Chains A and B, each alone.
Chain A
Amino acid sequence: MENNIELKNVLKKYNDFELKNISFNVPQGCIVGLIGENGAGKTTTIKSILNITKSEGTVKIFGKDSKKNEKEIKEETGVVLDDSFLSEYLTAKQVNSIMKDFYKNWNENKYINLLKQFNLPTDKLIKDFSSGMKMKLKIATAISHNPKLLILDEPTSGLDPVVRNEILDIFRKYIEEDETRSILLSTHITTDLEHISDYIVFIEKGKIIFDLPTDELLENYGIIKCSKDDFTKLDENDYITYKKGKYQYEVLTKDKSVIKNKYNLMTIDKPSIEDIMLFYIKGEK
Chain B
Amino acid sequence: MMKALLKKDLYNLATYKASLIIIILFCGIAIIGTDAINIAPAIICGIVGMISLSTFSYDEMSKSNRYILTLPTNKKELVREKYILVIGATVLGGILGMILTIIVVNIMNYLRTENIINLDYQSLIIVTIGGIFAISFLQSVQIPSIYKWGAEKGRIQMFILVLIIVAILGGMYFLINKANINIDMEMINNFITKFGIMLLIISTIVMYFISYKIAYKIYKNKEE
Q: Which of A's residues lie within 8 Å of B, judged by CB?
A: 47, 50-54, 70-71, 74-75, 77, 79, 81, 83-90, 94, 97-99, 101-103, 151
> A140 CA to B70 CA in the complex, in Å?
15
A74 near B64 (CB under 8 angstroms)?
A: no
Per DSSP, are chain B's interface residues mostly helix, strand or loop, or mixed?
helix
Expressed in whole angstroms, the Cα–Cα distance for A97 and B9 within the complex equals: 12
Contact of A88 among B1, B61, B71, B224 (CB under 8 A): B61
Q: How large is the interface on B (under 10, 10 to 19, 20 to 34, 35 or more residues)?
A: 20 to 34
Question: In the complex, A84→B68 CA distance in Å?
Answer: 9
- Cβ of B121 < 8 Å from any Cβ of A? no
Tell me the B residues contacting A by CB distance below 8 Å.
1, 3-4, 7-8, 11-12, 15, 58-59, 61-64, 66-74, 223-224
Nearest CB of chain B from residue A169's CB, rounded to whole Å:
24
Asked if B69 contacts A52 (CB within 8 A), the reply is yes
Q: Which residues on the B side are within 8 Å of A51 (C-beta)?
A: 69
Interface contact A85-B64, CB-CB below 8 Å: yes
A77 touching B70, Cβ below 8 Å: yes
Q: How far is the CA of A85 from the CA of B74 in the complex (A)?
A: 16
Which 10 A-B residue pairings sit nearest by Cβ, starting from the closest?
A101-B4, A84-B63, A79-B70, A74-B72, A84-B67, A84-B66, A102-B4, A101-B3, A87-B62, A71-B72
A94 vs B81: C-alpha distance when bound (angstroms): 18
Q: Which residues of B contact A85 (CB under 8 A)?
A: 62, 64, 67
Main DSSP-derived SS at the A contact region: mixed
- What residue in chain A is nearest B11 (Cβ atoms)? A94
Contacts A70-B74, A81-B67, A84-B67 given: A101-B7 contact, CB under 8 Å? yes
Q: With A and B bound together, what is the CA distance between A90 and B4 in angstroms?
A: 13
Docked-complex contact A52 and B64, CB < 8 angstroms: no
Once bound together, how far apart are the Cα atoms of A50 and B223, in whole Å? Answer: 13
A151 to B15, CA, bound (A): 32
**B-side contacts of A52, CB under 8 Å:** 66, 69-70, 223-224
On chain B, the residues within 8 Å of A77 by CB distance are 70
The interface residues of chain A lying within 8 Å CB-to-CB of B59 are: 87
Query: What residue in chain A is nearest B68 (Cβ atoms)?
Result: A86
Who on chain B is nearest to A87 by CB?
Answer: B62
Residue with the highest number of chain A CB atoms closer than 10 Å, among B7, B70, B71: B70
Is the pair B67, A86 in contact by a Cβ cutoff of 8 Å? yes
Q: B72, A50: Cβ atoms under 8 Å?
A: no
Q: How far is the CA of A176 from the CA of B70 in the complex (A)?
A: 24
25 contacts between A and B (CB under 8 A): A50-B69, A51-B69, A52-B69, A70-B74, A75-B72, A77-B70, A79-B70, A79-B71, A81-B67, A81-B70, A84-B64, A85-B62, A85-B64, A87-B59, A89-B12, A89-B58, A90-B8, A90-B11, A90-B12, A97-B7, A98-B4, A101-B1, A101-B7, A102-B71, A102-B72
CB distance from A30 to the nearest CB of B (A): 21
Contacts of B15 in A (CB 8 A): 89
Measured in the bound complex, the distance between the Cα atoms of B100 and A229 in whole Å is 92
Chain A residue nearest in CB terms to B4:
A101
Asked if A86 contacts B70 (CB within 8 A), the reply is: no
The answer for the CA separation of A90 and B12 in the assembled complex, in Å, is 7
**Which residue of the partner chain B has the closest CB to A97?**
B7
Alpha-carbon separation in the docked complex, A103 to B72 (Å) = 7
Chain A residue contacts of B70, Cβ below 8 A: 50, 52, 74, 77, 79, 81, 151
Contact A98–B7 (Cβ < 8 Å): yes
Q: In whole Å, how far is B9's beta carbon from the nearest beta carbon of chain A?
A: 9
| CB-defined contacts of B64 to chain A, threshold 8 Å | 84-87
**How far apart sit A81 and B63, CA to CA, in the bound complex (Å)?**
10
- Name the residue of chain B whose CB is nearest to the CB of A93: B11
Chain A residues with CB under 8 Å of B67's CB are: 79, 81, 84-86
> Smallest distance from the beta carbon of B57 to chain A beta carbons, Å?
11
Residue of A53, A79, A84 most packed against chain B (CB within 10 A): A84
> Which residues of A are found within 8 Å of B224, using beta-carbon distances?
47, 52-53
